Amino acid sequence: MNRIILEIIQNILSMSDKVICIAGKNSIAINVLSFVLENYSQYKVLACINRTDNYKNNWQNSFGRYCLIKKVEILKLEDLYSIPDLYLFSLEFDRLIDTRKFISSNLFNIHFSLLPAYKGMFTSALPILHNVNETGVTLHLIDNGIDTGDIIAQEKIFIENDFDCRDLYLAYLKIGEGLVIQNFDKLIENNFVATKQSSHGSSYYSKKTIDYKNIIIDLNKTANEISSQIRAFSFREYQLPTVFGHSIYKAVILDSRSFSRPGTLLKEDAVSITIGSVDYDVLLMKDQLKELHEAARAGDLSKIQDIYSIGYDITVKDVNGWDILIIASYNGRFDIVKWIIESGLFNVNTRNFNGTTAVMYAMTFAIKSKDKSILEYLILNGADLKLVDQNNFDIFHYAQEYDTELYMDLLNYAR
């Protein structure tokens, strides 16, 4: 244990009041920590981040980075064991907690299921794969089992017919955040009732249940079962399911009855394949991300409109958080930018995962080309020049660094 951490722990141990620690990742950890900092400033607040947190934002913001910005002390899990009046909230935390090592028993977890069902792993995929109608979020005490602690509160989530794994995970994050915040006063005042989990309806799934490196869609199934598999394994930031060598983002059950062998390829075109199943034919939509973003770079508005016409989500981002508004702004494709803004589908202040806005990219193009048309258009349509990226720099900082004349223009736009 280094000297700084030792001093922090010694200071904590000298306090007589409560210590709150948020452990975990993603928006649920960030938003609960924000709530605590705003409403419980009388207490010492700590954080414990996941081992995979590299302090860089991706499709979700880094909890570790947020803690640094807010100057919240980050401790390792083992540093928390000896804190007597600790209130630990495990919110997407990546380690099992051995309660025997803690002095405190105020250890709480958010689990993404309606316990006692779906203990363990893959709670965003399995309910969809199993065709259940509802799932939920559970706030429970941590014991030395796997998601077996006494239940404090729960909230149900109805699984919509078009929900994929990603949709469900985002719903979990939002509902879980609310469940913690709603019960926070009761938890830190030890004024809550916890109920023992029933054995009825209990289920558990280990990390061996799904091998994400070897996902195979079983086509010898009904149309509904095939559709459920596609939805269950669709999480763009991690993977999309593959059928006949194509990445598939959506399945549509057709009215036509299947009379061919299940899994037979019946039809294929540029955007879809149609297969037979045990009962009804299924239209599998090929992913269009690569084609969409290449069209934005090349200035091919008609291609973008064609992709939009088949119902594809044209706001989709790539692994770096770039979407077609950012790409078109950076590459000087004014007609595409104008069509995007007029469509009303995009937020003019869209950002990549580093927080860089479309108008910042439009400024980069203006510096390179001396063409300010896109920059001016975005500003006239509501681009916020005060937004900062993850380095806490706004557009004025970069303009002043690279182009004094443009910097002066931006100051005039801001007036």
Provide the β-strand partners of residue 257.
Answer: 280
Strands (E), 65-133: 73-74, 86-91, 106-111, 119-120
CA 304 to CA 160: how far, in whole Å? Answer: 28
What pLDDT was estimated at residue 403? Answer: 85
Domain 3-205 carries which CATH code?
3.40.50.12230
Q: In CATH, what class is 212-286?
A: alpha beta
End-to-end CA distance of the chain: 52
Is-contact 350 357, C-beta < 8 A?
Answer: yes
Phi/psi at 44 (5° precision): -70, 130
User: Which of 346, 348, 357 lies closest to 390, judged by CA?
Assistant: 357
* Residue 68 burial (C-beta neighbours within 10 Å; 0-12, 13-18, 19+): middle
Residue bearing tokens 């079983």: 218
CATH 1.10.10.10, domain 289-414, yes or no: no
Domain-wise residue ranges, the chain: 3-205, 212-286, 289-414
pLDDT tens by residue, 3-24: 555 555 555 555 548 999 999 9
pLDDT tens by residue, 164-209: 999 999 999 999 999 999 999 999 999 999 999 999 999 999 999 9
What pLDDT was estimated at residue 105? Answer: 96
Instruction: Report how far Cα 28 is from the mean position of its chain's Cα atoms.
Output: 10
CA 167 to CA 46: how far, in whole Å? Answer: 30
pLDDT tens by residue, 356-413: 999 999 999 999 999 999 999 999 999 999 999 988 899 999 999 988 888 888 888 8
* Residue 268 burial (C-beta neighbours within 10 Å; 0-12, 13-18, 19+): middle
Phi/psi at 228 (5° precision): -65, -40
